């Protein structure tokens, strides 16, 4: 809306127009095409969507996706909250270290990190060897190729996305408000539950929605650490497109995913400015 | 409430020191504060007045010295156990809580019964006249209303001592004068010991029973507003509280308030010197002259504007006099 109005007003937009058209054509075009495919393949109608209610494997897969995403979100937010809290209360130099270490994880390819987990937690990995060597377990623990593996890998990947919005909301808290709570007789725990936590809620909600959105479409980690046994929606789509060639089903799931993400983004944008979420700790 | 605030709230501070590295923010303070007193800590920024208040509140540890409440040492008691009310600079209201919940917070963390809390909150709402605002959030209130919520919140648990950290700083001048009167009235009604930090001399003079002038972490002078104004002991006290001229006579420095000087054209019997007007400034109630005198250098003279008739022009030659008790010897 704003874009259209300014298109008429500002000549600068004419410079951007060609790129805008390219992006729209190359991006929106295929998306509309998928929408189209989902209601026309293999034959016109809403059969692909009806399968959501009829097909047992499809429902099981969607439930798996939802469950893993929810657990990932809860774990990432709890761990992210602890990390952000530690950062807030660390000395200046330590805090810089912690932020650098957090950002380093952004720069490492998700593929590398996933394979690292595979090696660390595999049957002959250092963790299992140590556990066996210490006599804690008699045979290797199955960390990988199951839901636990997927969860470990995904939580590890998602934590920074939870930390940054939470850290931003913690930085917004006026220290005097915390002092006021203590002055009025509240101890540390009471101050945390009644003042600190409620005041960081926008950050928690933003972090949770962000992590959930990213988890929904996650492909690499579930595919590798799940070992084909934990099927989530992104991998399911890929199987439909590349192996079973049921494009209609794949398109339907893609539309579902896109719709879900857009809805969540909308909710997120109501709660907190998006620039603050993606800008992380900067204010 | 078990604590009857009229029965306690006497503070004794002895040899209190706060050191940051090599800097002494509070450099040895001895002070007795009577129960029910309205005491103001007055000083420029960096004088240690806020640090002293934070130490009384328990937010800053003492490097040395002791703080006694009704004879018992509280210097090792954590802030949440001291039971002192506090009004913070900027109020520090809980932004996610209604006015009602803000005011009831201290009782609620003490796990008082719901009915008692509701009754007390209502009492406090009446006391600070915020009827009808109970369900609003702090952001929906004006600055003056927020200030009243902060007061009610701090007084709700009947603390023996109320600490106020520049509570009027965020208000505009007209409102500030109004709130000063309300604060003083409130103090008389609740009978709690008030310790009030400000850098505004007008606030200090108009509200306090006693004023403590601080500089560089030390007490410069303590006394009633009248004592401090009429008998400043040091040059700093004389200039920080009101304006003053300084006369050098008999190897001493003397303070002389501008409004205690008589100024007139021509001469009379008890003139001390003569001078020439350099400039005049009009302040509504007062006309201020700068006069170049033959004996004492440049003196500031304040004349009641309504009494002075037409303003004297620069260059006019005038005679100047004062009563003997108008000049006060300083310690410097």
Q: Which of B176, B199, B223 shows the shortest CA–CA distance to B53?
A: B199
The token pair at A209 is 């929605």
Contact between chains at B95 and A181 (C-beta distance less than 8 A)? no
Contact between chains at A183 and B79 (C-beta distance less than 8 A)? yes
Q: Smallest CA–CA separation between A176 and chain B, in Å?
A: 6
Mean pLDDT for chain A? 87
* C-alpha–C-alpha distance, residues B199 and B42, integer Å: 5
Render the burial of B217-252: b for 16+ CB within 10 Å, e for the rest.
Answer: bebbbbbebeebbbebbbbbbbebbbebbbbeeeee
- pLDDT tens across A246-255, in order? 889 999 999 9
Tell me how many domains chain A contains: 1
Q: Which residues of A touch B85 (CB under 8 A)?
A: 183-184
pLDDT for A124 equals: 86
Q: Is the dihedral of CA A21, A26, A32, A33 positive or negative?
A: positive
Any domain includes A93? yes
Among all residues of chain B, which has the CA nearest to that of A180?
B92
> Which of A180, A187, A190 has its CB closest to that of B92?
A180
Q: Which residues of B touch A185 (CB under 8 A)?
A: 80-81, 83, 106, 109-110, 157
Any domain includes A45? no
pLDDT for A5 equals: 54
Q: Determine the 3-state secondary structure of B299 from DSSP.
A: strand
Q: Which residues of A touch B89 (CB under 8 A)?
A: 176
End-to-end alpha carbon distance in chain A: 27
Any domain includes A88? yes
Any domain includes A27? no
Q: How confident is the model at residue B285 (pLDDT cuts 50, 70, 90)?
A: confident
- pLDDT tens across B137-169, in order? 999 999 889 999 999 999 999 999 999 999 988
Any domain includes A71? yes
A177: contact with B, CB 8 A cutoff: yes
Any domain includes A137? no
Sequence-distant (6+) residues with CB within 8 A of A264 are A209, A212, A213
- pLDDT tens across B229-267, in order? 999 999 999 998 888 999 988 888 999 999 999 888 877
Any domain includes A78? yes
Give the whole-number percent of chain B exceeding pLDDT 70: 96
pLDDT for B274 equals: 87
* C-alpha–C-alpha distance, residues B312 and A65, integer Å: 90
Q: Smallest CA–CA separation between A195 and chain B, in Å?
A: 7
Q: Which of A225-229, B275-279, B303-307 has the highest mean pLDDT?
A: B275-279
pLDDT for B222 equals: 96
Q: Which residues share a beta bridge with A209?
A: none
Among all residues of chain A, which has the CA nearest to that of B157?
A184
Any domain includes A25? no
Residue A214's domain comprises 59-108+143-277
pLDDT for B215 equals: 93
Which segment of A116-125, A262-271, B74-83, B95-104 scores lowest on mean pLDDT?
A262-271
* C-alpha–C-alpha distance, residues A68 and A87, integer Å: 28
* C-alpha–C-alpha distance, residues B256 and A196, integer Å: 54
Average pLDDT, integer, range B173-201: 91
Average pLDDT, integer, range B110-131: 94
- Residue A188 belongs to domain with CATH number: 1.10.3720.10
β B286-293/B273-282 pair status: antiparallel
Q: Is the dihedral of CA B88, B94, B100, B106 positive or negative?
A: negative
Contact between chains at B95 and A199 (C-beta distance less than 8 A)? yes
H or E element, residue B151:
helix B143-155
Q: Which of B159, B4, B156, B160 shows the shortest CA–CA distance to B71?
A: B160
């Amino acid at each position: 809306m704003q874009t259209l109005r300014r298109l008429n007003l500002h000549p600068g937009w004419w410079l951007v127009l060609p790129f805008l058209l390219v992006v729209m054509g190359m991006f929106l075009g295929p998306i509309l095409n998928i929408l189209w495919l989902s209601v026309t393949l293999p034959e016109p109608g809403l059969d692909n969507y009806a399968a959501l209610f009829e097909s047992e494997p499809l429902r099981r897969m969607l439930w798996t996706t939802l469950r893993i995403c929810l657990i990932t979100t809860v774990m990432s937010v709890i761990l992210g909250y602890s990390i952000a809290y530690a950062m807030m209360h660390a000395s200046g130099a330590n805090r810089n270290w912690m932020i650098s270490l957090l950002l380093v994880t952004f720069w490492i390819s998700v593929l590398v990190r996933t394979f690292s987990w595979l090696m660390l937690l595999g049957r002959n990995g250092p963790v299992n060897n140590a556990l066996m060597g210490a006599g804690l377990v008699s045979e290797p623990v199955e960390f990988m190729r199951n839901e636990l593996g997927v969860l470990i890998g995904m939580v590890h990947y998602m934590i920074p996305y939870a930390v940054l919005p939470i850290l931003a909301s913690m930085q917004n808290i006026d220290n005097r408000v915390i002092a006021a709570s203590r002055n009025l007789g509240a101890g540390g725990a009471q101050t945390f539950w009644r003042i600190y936590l409620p005041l960081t809620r926008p950050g928690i909600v933003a972090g949770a929605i962000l992590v959930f959105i990213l988890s929904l479409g996650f492909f690499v980690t579930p595919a590798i650490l799940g070992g084909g046994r934990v099927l989530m929606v992104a991998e399911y789509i890929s199987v439909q497109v590349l192996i079973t060639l049921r494009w209609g089903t794949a398109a339907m799931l893609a539309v579902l995913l896109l719709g879900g993400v857009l809805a969540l983004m909308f909710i997120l944008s109501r709660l907190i400015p998006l620039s603050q979420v993606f800008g992380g700790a900067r204010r | 409430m078990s604590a009857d605030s009229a029965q306690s709230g006497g503070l004794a501070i002895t040899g209190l020191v706060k050191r940051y590295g090599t800097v002494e923010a509070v450099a040895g303070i001895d002070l007795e504060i009577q129960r029910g007193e309205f005491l103001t800590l007055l000083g420029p920024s960096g004088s240690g007045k806020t640090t002293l208040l934070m130490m009384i509140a328990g937010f800053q540890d003492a490097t040395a010295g002791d703080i006694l409440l009704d004879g018992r040492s509280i210097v090792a008691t954590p802030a949440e156990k001291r039971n002192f009310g506090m009004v913070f600079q900027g109020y520090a209201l809980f932004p996610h809580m209604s006015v009602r919940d803000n005011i009831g917070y201290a009782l609620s963390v003490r796990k008082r019964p719901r009915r008692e809390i509701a009754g007390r909150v209502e009492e406090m709402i009446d006391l600070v006249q915020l009827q009808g605002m109970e369900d609003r959030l702090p952001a929906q209130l004006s600055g003056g209303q927020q200030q009243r919520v902060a007061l009610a919140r701090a007084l709700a648990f009947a603390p023996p001592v109320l600490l106020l950290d520049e509570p009027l700083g965020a208000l505009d001048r007209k409102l500030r004068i109004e709130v000063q009167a309300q604060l003083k009235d409130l103090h008389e009604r609740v009978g709690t010991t008030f310790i009030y930090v400000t850098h505004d001399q007008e606030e200090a003079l108009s509200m306090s029973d006693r004023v403590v002038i601080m500089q560089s972490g030390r007490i410069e002078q303590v006394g009633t507003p009248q004592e401090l104004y009429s008998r400043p002991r040091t040059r700093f006290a004389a200039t920080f509280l009101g304006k003053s001229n300084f006369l050098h006579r008999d190897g001493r420095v003397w303070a002389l308030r501008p409004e205690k000087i008589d100024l007139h054209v021509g001469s009379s019997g008890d003139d001390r010197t003569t001078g020439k007007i350099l400039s005049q400034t009009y302040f509504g109630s007062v006309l201020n002259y700068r006069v170049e005198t033959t004996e004492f250098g440049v003196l500031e003279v304040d004349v009641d504007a309504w009494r002075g008739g037409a303003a004297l022009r620069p260059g006019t030659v005038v005679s100047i006099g004062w009563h003997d008790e108008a000049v006060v010897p300083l310690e410097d």
